[in-house]
Amino acid sequence: MGGLPAGKVEPTEHDYAEWERRVDALMVLLSGVKGAPKLMTVDELRKNIEALPPDAYERMSYYERWVTSITQVMIQRGVITTEELGRKMQEIGKRDGRKV
Amino acid sequence: MDARFKPGDVVRVRKAYPLGHIRTPFYIRGHSGVVERICGTFGNPEELAQMRSGEPRQPLYRVRFLQKEVWPAYQGNPEDVLEVEIFQHWLE
Amino acid sequence: MKDSGEYQPYSYFQLMEVSLRELLVEKGIVTEAQVAATVADMRARTPERGAKVVARAWTDDAFRNKLLANGSQAIEEIGIDVPALRLIVVENTPQTHNMVVCTLCSCYPRMLLGIPPDWYKSRSYRSRAVSEPRAVLAEFGLHIDEKTKIRVHDSTADMRYLVLPMRPAGTEGWSEERLASIVTRDCMIGVAVPKLA
């Protein structure tokens, strides 16, 4: 991305939401930085983010890209299956939702 | 793998555009710079990204480039530099 | 059945996060307690930790030399834990200003400073910091004159970077704590310099 034309840098920051912090934490844990078994590398995380189609990349926020990528890696490595993920998302989707 | 280069050596980044996960930015490929230091030897990210072991581990260098040589329209001090970490297999 | 507080439906990605986490917990890969502890751990990593390092370097030449020679080791020796961090500390001088970016993603010394700000990860910063650093710095309100050299560091691989800013004039005799209070995160990325309050 370096050197491509781009607009003004907007000095935005946001206080990360709990779900975003949990995604970050999952990455720290799964990549073996802090004591959990190493199940993925940051390189696989980056590879999967780079593989996102350009319009999806632009539409998704930083941690949306991360959670997608981490989940892809878990499927690629056979830690979870697409089937398990689908069923779990269906099940949770039926619950009340998240407390704000 | 032994380090082929040392600080002060002039090196050029290979001008190749293969597929896969690569940590050599497009903008620096084909450019020449000077080795600023050897950072150590690390797993090859191109291999690690494919769920492989990252062997053979590659020496990693910080290479210093003159901005005015990297960007045709660069505005600034002619001694402004850009320092980038590049793996040995991308240097010649 | 709901306790107090508003409920919102999950977005697709929030749903993915909950689902992934529950599956990993069910499979015994992580526990909820570990996730919560890691969230808390990352929260506790803040720019104040970096500011302490800078203030120490300003007041202790031996430490400053160690820091420039081996960033992570020097920091661990003063009791600040930075697991898996390979830090290079780059020093601002009257002749040289340093600036850090990760054009390829968002590499940042997280274990020292915590999670990076949105702008550091933005397309604009990542594209332009390497090719037009002076213009980007001007947008941050920092004007570097033409006679000063700029070194831009692109964290493309395993190393991470911390800018050691210059100690401003007028801080003679200040305690380390007071010195640390003027070192902001942006000073350590290189888009700002410490200012006297």
The residue type of A58 is E
Q: What residues of A are in contact with residue B20 (Cβ under 8 Å)?
A: 47
C1 has a pLDDT exceeding 90: no
For residues B68 and A4, the model is more confident at B68
List pLDDT tens digits, range B5-29: 999 999 999 999 999 999 999 999 9
List pLDDT tens digits, range B62-85: 999 999 999 999 999 999 999 999
A22 to chain B, any CB pair closer than 8 A? The answer is no
Sign of the Cα pseudo-torsion (C60, C177, C99, B85, in order): positive
pLDDT band at A96 (very low <50, low <70, confident <90, very high): low
A10, A33, A92: residue with CB nearest C19:
A92
Tell me if C105 sits within 8 A of B21, measured CB to CB: no
pLDDT band at A58 (very low <50, low <70, confident <90, very high): very high
* Predicted complex ipTM: 0.96
Mean pLDDT of B46-62: 95
pLDDT band at C87 (very low <50, low <70, confident <90, very high): very high
Cα pseudo-dihedral A17, A18, A23, A27, rounded to 10: 110
pLDDT band at C120 (very low <50, low <70, confident <90, very high): very high
pLDDT band at C107 (very low <50, low <70, confident <90, very high): very high
Residue in B with minimal Cα distance to A2: B27
Q: C106 catalytic, yes or no?
A: yes
Q: What is the DSSP pairing of strand B81-87 with strand B58-66?
A: antiparallel
pLDDT band at C6 (very low <50, low <70, confident <90, very high): low
- What local confidence, expressed as pLDDT, does residue A80 receive? 97
Question: How would you class C28 by CB atoms within 10 Å of its CB: exposed for 0-12, middle for 13-18, buried for 19 or more?
Answer: exposed
Residue in B with minimal Cα distance to A42: B49
Question: How would you class B31 by CB atoms within 10 Å of its CB: exposed for 0-12, middle for 13-18, buried for 19 or more?
Answer: middle
Q: C124 catalytic, yes or no?
A: no
Tell me if C60 sits within 8 A of C82, measured CB to CB: no
Which one of A63, A80, A90, A98 makes the best mutation probe of the C interface by having the most chain C beta carbons within 10 Å? Answer: A98
C81 has a pLDDT exceeding 80: yes
Mean pLDDT of chain C: 94
| C78 backbone dihedrals φ, ψ, rounded to 5° | -100, 20
pLDDT band at C2 (very low <50, low <70, confident <90, very high): very low
Sign of the Cα pseudo-torsion (A91, A92, A93, A97, in order): positive
- What local confidence, expressed as pLDDT, does residue A100 receive? 44
pTM: 0.94
- What local confidence, expressed as pLDDT, does residue C30 receive? 94
Q: What residues of C are in contact with residue B85 (Cβ under 8 Å)?
A: 154-159
List pLDDT tens digits, range A10-38: 888 888 999 999 999 999 999 987 767 89
Tell me the Ramachandran region of residue A35: left when phi exceeds 0, alpha when psi lies from -120 to 50, beta otherwise: left
